[in-house]
Amino acid sequence: MPIKELIMDNILILHNTFGPADDPLYQSRAAVMDQVVMVEQSCQKLGIKYSTLPVESLKHLISLLEVRREKIIFNLIEEFLDSLAQAAFVPVICQAYGKSCTGNSTPTSVLAQNKVQAEGLECPAGAVFHNGKYKANLLKKGKYIIKPAFCDGSEGITADSVVQLPAETERAKALVAQLYRQFVYPVIVERFIGSRELNISLMERNGKVDVLPIAEIDFSAFSDNQPNIVDYSAKWEKDSFVYNNTPRKIPADLGEDLYSRIEKLSIAAWHAVGCRDYGRVEFRLDEDEKPYIIEVNPNPDISIEAGFAAALEAAGIPYEMFIFAILDNANERLKGFSNADKYSKSSRR
């Protein structure tokens, strides 16, 4: 059977809009178009018909869903200009219109980190400040990283985001207030763990979860007084020192036991959060090589230069076959919608 016959009708690729080029976060927000290009190219290789549309807001999304015939939505909506958090509601709205959305569900996207902690998986200690007002009594002595909630792509993170408490309490207080003003969302102050960072990409195909080769960020070129973090510059500013000196090592140079443990913890985090289709789990290792989950990203960047694509290449999985697996998953969920609708109608007779 040709691949295109597995997909009901055409698919609709939806992506968010982004601000002007003078937006300080333009590089990370406009990068969604790199993902769009990869999905479009994959569909062309697979012989799958598609349409691509930008979406400005949830209201705009609803107006599109009311008139579009496509039943499968490839969701590349990462945020809306008027609200970063509202993008998490795209999947449930698509489902309400009888359409199957790729990527993770609304509950998973909204509650990812809370679910990980509720399952007892090891995460760094810390506190969340909801109104931009820092309270020193909530944190113990030690090194912390300060970052905005609900942001991806290292937005809001710089080399100055790591602080030593209580010595740098005033700087921490100022940074929490600054991030709250900039993003108007809660600010996380989280224990800064060790000096090693691991990225684990996972994908679902044929009903199973595959852990792709583990990647480690190489910070060996950093000076001793430079925190080993992938900040905004390291992700997006191609002329910066940190961008050019944070390569990935795939597979990571870990002992067999630690490698296996990280894989098992990644799968545990996937199931704890209720992930589907694809995701990424990020760890840091302390001085004793104890792993801590610092983030579960339900819908990571899948552009060709991002870590997920690098993990696919290391695993020997052609990019278009990853896209096919994601669309196939969405197609199976769509069948579930149809069966549930039939059951609902028959039960009312």
Q: Is the pLDDT of residue 347 over 70?
A: no
Encode burial over 81-96: b for 16+ CB neighbours within 10 A, e otherwise: eeebebbbbbbebbbe
- Say whether both 56 and 148 belong to one domain: no
Please indicate, yes or no, if residue 200 is contained in any of the structural domains.
yes
Contacts of 157 (CB under 8 A, 6+ apart): 145, 147, 229, 231, 232
State the pLDDT at residue 5.
Answer: 54
Mean pLDDT of 250-262: 97
**Residue bearing tokens 């610092």:** 294
The DSSP letter of residue 83 is: B
Contacts of 173 (CB under 8 A, 6+ apart): 134, 136
- Say whether both 80 and 218 belong to one domain: no
Token pair, residue 332, equals 């199976």
H-helix segments, 188-255: 232-236, 241-244
Q: How many domains does the chain have?
A: 3
Half-sphere exposure of residue 243: CA atoms within 13 angstroms, side-chain side = 10
40 lies in which domain range?
3-103
pTM: 0.91
State the pLDDT at residue 114.
Answer: 66
- Say whether both 66 and 143 belong to one domain: no
Token pair, residue 275, equals 């992930």
Spatial CA neighbour of 46 closest among 330, 323, 303: 323
Mean pLDDT of 233-240: 95
- Say whether both 198 and 310 belong to one domain: yes
CATH code of the domain containing 52: 3.40.50
Q: Is the pLDDT of residue 66 over 60?
A: yes
**Residue bearing tokens 């080769």:** 213
Mean of the per-residue pLDDT values of the chain: 91
- Number of H helices and E strands in the chain, helices first, is 11, 14
